[in-house]
Amino acid sequence: MKFSLRFSRPTRTATVAIASAAAGIALAVPGLAIAGHTGQAVAPPPANPTSADQIQNIDQVKTAIKGYYGDTLTTTPDPVDGTTMLHQFDPDGAYAHEVEGIARDSGKYLANHHKRTEGKAIIFDIDDTTLNTYSYEIYSNFVYNPGTNAAFVNAGLTPGVDSAKVFPAVPGMVALEAKAMKAGYQVFWLTGRPATQLDGTLVNLRAAGYTVDDSHVYLKDLTAPYLQWCMTDANNKPCTTIEYKSSTREYIESQGYELVANFGDQFSDLTGGFADRTYKIPNPNYYLP
């Protein structure tokens, strides 16, 4: 991985928290694993399968996802054309209980295991880490479309629309943020959403109950000075997700902060260093390398 214009602060090796449901204990190991699961990632199908038996039926997967979230039909119309009612997760379902457990465990760590008094901070991803996008997955039948997705992201910019009913808070995360702030942590937000979605993002975060410092919210803007290095290779390729997010975390730390914990629903949110500890939030809906 090429980091030609990086800062001088050395990369720290993050410890990844794994909540072991099978053993009922919390583990900490080097490397990456899924927090809140049994510690083992579900094996993907082979890249070049030789038989259909090697691939799980996609309709069965969708049914399992809906069961995991506790699919619930609401009376909130979709923000695209208002012709369908949104689906949401069950606040008493398996998904909600699992992420609430991760939030509780990480809150205990933040409160009890870090003694630095100045400059300590945590960083959150947004989609499916702090704001749940299940409504869009069901609306789109799990197929991303930038136009309709933008309508969901910016729903709160329409007068009279409560964006927290479109993308509500991930269970347990509002309380986790409040606990971290009470313990003296600064809170940062880092998302792959384009910079043009800043206003809708801020409205949604606040509607969902978060306390947000606008200057601590980072959306993907490849014109930012600390990202210019990634546009200088021979093929003029933009940053990968891992490069963009790790470079932004490095930039934040260069301003005098220590990122004690990093929360994300994708491994690409967590890879690349510049955080003491990482927490993987469950998300079976999509994969972002």
Convert the pLDDT of each residue in 143-198 to its tens digit.
Answer: 999 999 999 999 999 999 999 999 999 999 999 999 999 999 999 999 999 999 99
Domains of the chain with CATH codes: 60-280 (3.40.50.1000)
CB-count exposure of residue 47 (10 Å: 0-12, 13-18, 19+): exposed
Q: The whole model's pTM is what?
A: 0.87
Q: Using an 8 Å Cβ cutoff, are 264 and 275 in contact?
A: no
pLDDT score recorded for residue 82:
97
Give the residue among 44, 93, 113, 110 at the shortest CA–CA distance from 289. Answer: 44
pLDDT score recorded for residue 6:
43
Q: Using an 8 Å Cβ cutoff, are 198 and 205 in contact?
A: no
The Cα–Cα gap between 244 and 249 comes to: 9
Q: Is 170 helix (H, G, I), strand (E, B) or coil?
A: coil
The Cα–Cα gap between 192 and 286 comes to: 14
